[in-house]
Amino acid sequence: MEELKQELKAKIIDQLNLEDINVEDINDNDPLFGDGLGLDSIDALELIVMLDKDYGIKLTDPKEGRAIFESIDVMAKYISEHRSK
Amino acid sequence: MKPVYIHSVASISAQNTVDETAFLDDLVFYEDNVLPAIDPNYKDFIPPAAARRMAKGIKMGVVASKLALNQAGIDKPDAIITGTGLGCLRDSEKFVSAILDNNEQFLTPTPFIQSTHNTVGGQIALELQCKGYNFTYVHASVSFESALLDAELQLKNNEATNILVGGVDELGDHTTELFKLIELIKTEKVSSKALLESQTKGVVYSEGANFFLLTNEKDEKCYAELIDTAIFNTLKKDNLPTAVETFLNSNKLNPEHVDLLICGHNGDVEHDDYYEVLTSGIFSDTQQAFYKHLSGEFHTASGFGFWLANKILKTQTLPEAVKLNHVKNSEFGYVLLYNQYLGENHSFTLLRKC
The per-residue pLDDT for range B267-280, each reduced to its tens digit, is: 999 999 999 999 99
Specify the CATH superfamily of domain B4-215.
Thiolase/Chalcone synthase (3.40.47.10)
Quick check: B140 pLDDT over 90? yes
Residues in chain A closer than 8 A to B108 (CB atoms): 15, 45-46, 49
Contact A18 B52 (CB under 8 A): yes
Q: Which one of B52, B102, B113 has the shortest CB-CB distance to A19?
A: B52
pLDDT score at B246: 98
A10: contact with B, CB 8 A cutoff: no
Contact B102 A19 (CB under 8 A): no
Buried b (16+ CB within 10 A) or exposed e, B155-191: beeeebbbbbbbbbbbbbeebbeebbeeebbbeeebe
Instruction: Report the residue of B56, B90, B108, B126 to disrupt the A interface, i.e. the one with the largest count of A CBs within 10 Å.
Output: B108
B39: contact with A, CB 8 A cutoff: no
Nearest-Cα residue of chain B relative to residue A18: B52
Instruction: Render pLDDT for B313-322 as a digit per residue (tens, 0 to 9).
Output: 999 999 999 9
Quick check: A38 pLDDT over 90? no
Instruction: Report the residue of A32, A50, A53 to disrupt the B interface, i.e. the one with the largest count of B CBs within 10 Å.
Output: A53
Instruction: Render pLDDT for B279-321 as a digit per residue (tens, 0 to 9).
Output: 999 999 999 999 999 999 999 999 999 999 999 999 999 999 9
Confidence of residue B329 (pLDDT cuts 50, 70, 90): confident
Counting one residue from chain A and one from chain B, the pairs whose CB atoms sit within 8 A come to: 27
Residues in chain B closer than 8 A to A15 (CB atoms): 108
DSSP H helices in chain B: 48-51, 56-72, 89-101, 109-114, 119-128, 143-156, 173-181, 240-249, 273-279, 292-295, 302-315
- Average pLDDT taken over every residue of chain B: 96
Instruction: Render pLDDT for B57-106 as a digit per residue (tens, 0 to 9).
Output: 999 999 999 999 999 999 999 999 999 999 999 999 999 999 999 888 88
Q: Report domain extents, chain B.
A: 4-215, 225-353
Indicate the SS3 state at residue B160: coil
- Asked if B4-215 and B225-353 have one fold, the answer is yes
Residue-range domains of chain A with CATH: 2-82 (1.10.1200.10)
**Chain B: closest CA distance from residue A77 (Å):** 22
The residues with which B288 forms a beta bridge, in sequence order, are B261
Distance of alpha carbon B29 from alpha carbon B112, whole angstroms? 36
* In this structure, CATH architecture of domain B225-353: 3-Layer(aba) Sandwich (3.40)
Higher pLDDT, B97 or A35: B97
Higher pLDDT, B214 or B47: B214
Q: Which strand (E) or helix (H) includes residue B12? A: strand B4-12
Contact B110 A46 (CB under 8 A): yes
β-strand pairing of B344-353 with B334-341: antiparallel
The residues with which B323 forms a beta bridge, in sequence order, are B289
A52: contact with B, CB 8 A cutoff: yes
DSSP summary character for residue B255:
G
Q: Which one of A18, A19, A42 has the shortest CB-CB distance to B110?
A: A42
